[in-house]
Structure 1
Amino acid sequence: MIVKHSRFVVFSPVLNENPNIVKNPSFISVKFRSFCSSRLTQQPKVSFTESNRSPNSLVATRVSRLSRTEAQDVLFDYLHSTRSLSFTDAEHISKNSPQYVEKLLSKINNDKDVTRSLTKFLRYNPINEFEPFLESLGLSPSELSSLLPQHLMYLSDDHVMFDNFHVLYGYGIPRTNIGNMYKEAREIFEYDYGVLALKLQAYENLSLSRNTVIKLVSCCPSLLLGSVDSKFVMVLEKLKQLGFKNDWIGGYLSGKVTYNWNRMFDTMDFLDKVGYSEEQLRSLFKTNPALVFEGSGRKVYVLFGQLLKLGLKMNEVYSLFMQNPQILSSKCANNLLQAVGFLVEIGMRMEDIGKMVSAHAELMGLSSLKRPKTVCSELKVGRDGLCQIIKDDPLKLFNLASKTKVQTNQQVVRQNPSKHLEKTAFLLGLGYVENSEEMTKALKKFRGRGDQLQERFDCLVEAGLDCNVVRNIIKHAPMVLNQSKDVIEKKIECLKNFLGYPLESVVTFPTYLCYDMERITHRFTMYAWLRERGAAKPTLTLSTILASSDARFIKYFVDIHPEGPAMWESLKKSTSS
């Protein structure tokens, strides 16, 4: 007789002897899986490492593996057949609670038939189902004691919790993330039927994709407590005001971090109030998302406060951050603060430390320093002597105290103290004169390491432009190389394949590569729409379409057609959605 199951087709001649088994197909699936496991383990493949083991150790390993597999099968059968959990839940719990399976095996004699012994044990000793369930959600056994519900043994005893678990899992949240949510915000699992689904939908109603909501509530389960978090909405609105799409935030969320939306908004508001324009904030957040997401903005306050204590004026601090946005990243900020602490410890005056930070912020951010005591011991000088050495030549700080040498050529570093040797070499290759005023200005304009700048330069050459032509482009529009290689490639592909312009168009208008993709697609889609209706000339230059102000573009490319304003609004809405 053949019995069909959702996962197996089993030929079983014994069914005629026991027709009641047909009523319980899960029993067949469990036995069949156990049968397959035993067959597979009877003739194991011996790896090179196993060939060096003794026969006894191989047998011990094989029995242990077989015992665990059989115990998992028995636990599955118990949960699915006896306790009526769904096939999926029972299977996941039995296969993802190894500590609890080991605990069950300790209750019986492993030398005997594990399946029979453990089945008999479970028949007379019902288990606390919350233990393997919570372990299968990624929680460690050491965490369970405080999380296990009091006076309950069966998952069905807390059907509200179990229903909410299924809502989260059905929404797409991984089980291991649900375990963390259970630990961090247990109240979520106490909602009445339908409430949790509405709370998840409320965040989708903020124009967030389901994937972003999943990331969001996984790392910040407290967002599902109460109504929609007002501070989170304010952060979202602020980012939207700066031109970021709502789902941009999803790309930087990490399940390993807890976010403080209140402090994050205060940080953004603080930067706004101290004088950053929207354009500056947009540039700052694009180049350094860690400013918003790492520590929820705490580093901004710490750095601002420390730099102001050193005597820097507010506008000097703004300029420092804009020229070196990477110093707000967690690693660079820590290095910078460590360097300030080093100089304070050796007795340098605050005024002198402030001057060093103004001149060498980038190097300070890149350098992890030794302890002053270690440096003094290596040089056989006291702290006053070390302080005098660094005052006489500030770059000695990095040569003498850095754990890893930031520069290898001290002379080149002296000439260009705020930039890497590789960046200087790259600029020399472009034709800049060493130690000139033009070189000094160029070092401030170009962002990134020398190897990154070279990679972006090569990207333009590989696209089909002559090397000398690219040099001229960079001379006229240095900001082209302040974008990543991927962004440059994307804009070149858009120019040729979407806009239909030849690559040589960037030679006469290199700043095309500096406009953001939203402006490019909006304006050229509008222009193409007008051209199809005979309302625009067929061969307008890139600069005519992109370089004009918003007001001028609307006047000559939107209002020129009766349906133009409606089309323009439609384009902007499609992007924001």
Structure 2
Amino acid sequence: MKPLNSRCYATVTTSEKLSVKTRIENQRKAQAAMLDYFYITRGLQFLVAESMSKNAPLFNDHLLEKLDCDTPDDDDADIALSITRFLRFHPINEFEPFFESLGLKPSEYSRLLPSDKMFLNEDAFLLENYNTFWIYGIGLKQMGKIFKEAREVLEEVSYDWSSMHRVLSLLRDLCFSDSELCELIKKHPRLVFEDSGEWTLFLAGFLTKLGLSKSELSSFFLIFPEIEVKKCVLNLKHCFLFLKQIKMECDKMGKIFRAHSSWLAACSLKKPRTLLDRLNVGTRRLCQVIQENPEEMKKWTMGLKVQPLPPTGEEEASRLMKTQFLINLGYEENSEEMERAVKKFRGRGSELQQRFDFLVSLGLNEKDVRNMVNAFPQILCQASDLLEAKVICLFCGNYRFT
């Protein structure tokens, strides 16, 4: 059995008897020695070196424990000199005091330590990010949270710093103070770091085009949903196309986005055609429902089962008008042919007779119009001005060929 190192054992015993005052003095000397080592010997920037020497107590204490076993038995030995001698022959992993100085515990930064590097100067990308954060007033603990949660900031990926600068300038311009901006980036680092902030810039431009004011845009970012910025953009874009496809008026769309963008950004809506079938309504009714209560859209997201909307008196009256109109055309009541025709005739029932009469008023024979509608029912789904243009085109064609 190998005997215990008497020197180490004796030193540990002595160390345990040190007064609190002596320990504090040793820690102060250790910090001074570490600053000298990081700044003078290793050539790190003074800002980084000072932070690492003063804000990594666990690392410094661990280093002092090692010195107890490696320095001579001399009570008057100078701590600073001992540290200098020790570091000369025992290089340390500089990433450990660096991450601890940002407020991270060893259990939190262990996965962030690079496997192929020991010296901070080997990772210029990491130091560049550190300096950029400091310039924009982001505190050490906020930096630590960003480095821990946004892995792409510790990993060597390509960043467009000019784009990131535009994002930070944009957020500052939205009346965010330095403290608010720090809290925002701390809470949502993806706003700046996801694709160098390109999606954030696109998002801000998109919402501005939809009518959001500067204050409304500021409020939107303050309650930004906990999702990727790209996903947020895609959800809002899909919602815009959804409302456009159901023919909602532009000013009504803008009103909805101005008041409800924060939760719309987190919703993945079903496709319009699927939703119209599930709800058993037309675009006019769907627009009305959304305008009366936009939050109904929360029930129409991907993965949720959609229940048909209850019928209204107007819809029932419209269906009766459609049925009567088809009977006048010669369809048999309650037949399969009539049921298929009812589904093809979109819009209100009152419009069918109006458009039929309009075609007759343009000079077409009533019997010809009847045959035309029987052969192609969708013709009555078109607006009157479009029908008139097509009839004029037909008349002009006959005139040229006669």
- State the TM-score, normalized to the length of structure 2: 0.49
Larger Cα-atom Rg: 2
TM-score normalised to the size of structure 1?
Answer: 0.37
Tell which has more relative contact order, 1 or 2 (C-alpha 8 A, sep 6+): 2
